[in-house]
């Protein structure tokens, strides 16, 4: 099965989950979630801004898997952070999901007002409306500020990370503060070319695994929580079929060497959305 990581507050998270960014609300997402749960996933990562929380909730309810066995993450959107509407936004997310708690609630981006939002999230955590709280797209300087102003630390920082942009500086900073790291766009993102890189394709031959499986394995061996996204049943199954092999140190280094130094996503220090 999928390994778990025990986060700093003692809550356990499956190290591999299904991402649903860019999935429309409706049958596509419901099916992806059902397919993932049938394949053994027990962790779904959504966000209010993805607009598909209702379908995530429906997919989980339509599966045979009890709610408490699934780790569900959602995120507080920028406008709600700026307007100081944490509690209202959280209740709207719960309502859309059709759930009475979420496992992990994240500040989506470090936009103006995040400090107040964090205080409000600590309140939700203390009231046990969420099992854990964390942040996303925080740079080391944001994490430092957060730890200066609050005695409750985020359990995770969910950041862009893939072989082409491993984000090692933020990763080491977070880990040195006992904050676990989750990787978004772990396969290089929608429309990316990472999975076609000949150096990666070369590695697949040795293991009889696909480029996506090699990359997911690389994340797991780095100790990162990884949430690859797919709407295709065959790929959803493929992406969790990574527990029967491991990359050698030399091959981990070969994947490390794919670092191009450039993000595919937005720069967290310049958010204009």
Among all residues, which ones are annotated catalytic?
Answer: 50
Q: C-alpha angle with apex 259: 203 to 242, nearest 5 degrees?
A: 40
- Residue 21: CB minimum distance to ligand A2P, A: 6
Q: By CB under 6 A, is residue 186 in contact with ligand A2P?
A: yes
- For the CB of residue 117, give the shortest distance to ligand A2P in the complex, in Å: 25
Contact range with ligand A2P by CB under 6 A, out of 100-108, 151-159, 180-188, 247-255:
180-188
> Binding residue for ligand A2P (CB under 6 A) from 232, 246, 248, 267?
232
Two tokens, residue 158: 């969910």
- State how beta strands 130-136 and 156-160 pair: parallel
Q: Which listed residue (99, 106, 200, 212) binds ligand A2P by CB under 6 A?
A: 212
Q: Which of 115, 152, 231, 260 binds ligand A2P (CB under 6 A)?
A: 231
Stretch that binds ligand A2P, among 8-16, 62-70, 188-196, 247-255 (CB under 6 A): 188-196
Q: Which of 142, 134, 95 is nearest to 118 (CA)?
A: 134
Ramachandran bin of 143, using left for φ above 0, alpha for ψ from -120 to 50, beta for the remaining angles? alpha
- If one asks whether residue 188 binds ligand A2P (CB under 6 A), the answer comes out as yes
Q: Is 230 in the site for ligand A2P (CB under 6 A)?
A: yes
First CA to last CA distance, the chain: 38
- CB atoms under 10 Å from CB of 123, counted, come to 14
Does 167 sit near ligand A2P (CB under 6 A)?
no
Query: Is the Cβ of residue 99 or residue 212 nearer to ligand A2P in the bound state?
Result: 212
Q: Which residues of 164-197 are buried (b: 16+ CB within 10 A; e: fewer)?
A: bbbbeebbebbeebebbbbbbbbbbbeeeebbeb
Task: Provide the 8-state DSSP code for 152.
Answer: S
We find the least distance from the C-beta atom of residue 143 to ligand A2P, in angstroms, to be 23
Q: Does 229 bind ligand A2P (CB under 6 A)?
A: yes
What is the distance between the alpha carbons of residues 81 and 155, in angstroms, rounded to a whole number?
19
Q: Which of residues 234-253 bind ligand A2P (CB under 6 A)?
A: 235, 238-239
DSSP 8-state symbol, 130:
E
Neighbours of 20 (CB within 10 A): 28
**Which of 85/108 has CB closer to ligand A2P?**
108
Interface residue with ligand A2P among 44, 228, 254, 258 (CB under 6 A) is 228
- ∠ at Cα 70 (122, 94), nearest 5°? 50
Residue 232 marked ligand-binding: no
Q: How many residues bind ligand A2P (CB under 6 A)?
A: 18
Nearer to ligand A2P by C-beta: 37 or 94? Answer: 37
Residues placed in the known binding site for substrate: 108
List contacts with ligand A2P (CB under 6 A): 19, 185-190, 195, 210, 212, 228-232, 235, 238-239
């Amino acid at each position: 099965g999928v390994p778990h990581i025990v986060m700093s507050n003692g809550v356990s998270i499956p190290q591999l989950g299904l991402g649903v960014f860019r999935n429309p609300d409706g049958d596509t997402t419901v099916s992806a979630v059902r397919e993932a749960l049938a394949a053994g996933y027990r962790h779904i990562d959504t966000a209010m801004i993805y607009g598909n929380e209702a379908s995530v909730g429906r997919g989980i309810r339509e599966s045979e898997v009890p709610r408490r066995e699934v780790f569900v993450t959602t995120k507080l959107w920028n406008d709600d952070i700026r307007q100081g509407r944490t509690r209202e936004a959280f209740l709207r997310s719960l309502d859309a999901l059709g759930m009475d708690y979420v496992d992990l609630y994240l500040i989506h981006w470090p936009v103006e007002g995040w400090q107040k939002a964090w205080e409000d999230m600590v309140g939700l955590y203390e009231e046990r409306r969420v099992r854990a709280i964390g942040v996303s797209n925080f740079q080391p300087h944001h994490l430092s500020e957060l730890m200066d102003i609050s005695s409750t630390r985020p359990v995770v920082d969910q950041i862009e990370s893939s072989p082409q942009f491993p984000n090692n500086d933020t990763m080491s900073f977070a880990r040195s503060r006992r904050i676990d790291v989750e990787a978004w766009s772990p396969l290089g993102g929608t429309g990316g070319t990472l999975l076609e890189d000949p150096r990666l394709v070369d590695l697949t031959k040795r293991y009889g695994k696909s480029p996506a499986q090699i990359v997911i394995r690389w994340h797991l061996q780095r100790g990162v929580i990884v949430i690859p996204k797919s709407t295709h049943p065959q790929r959803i199954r493929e992406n969790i079929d990574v527990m029967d092999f491991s990359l050698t140190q030399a091959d981990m280094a070969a994947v490390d060497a794919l670092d191009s130094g450039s993000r595919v996503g937005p720069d967290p220090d310049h958010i204009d959305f």
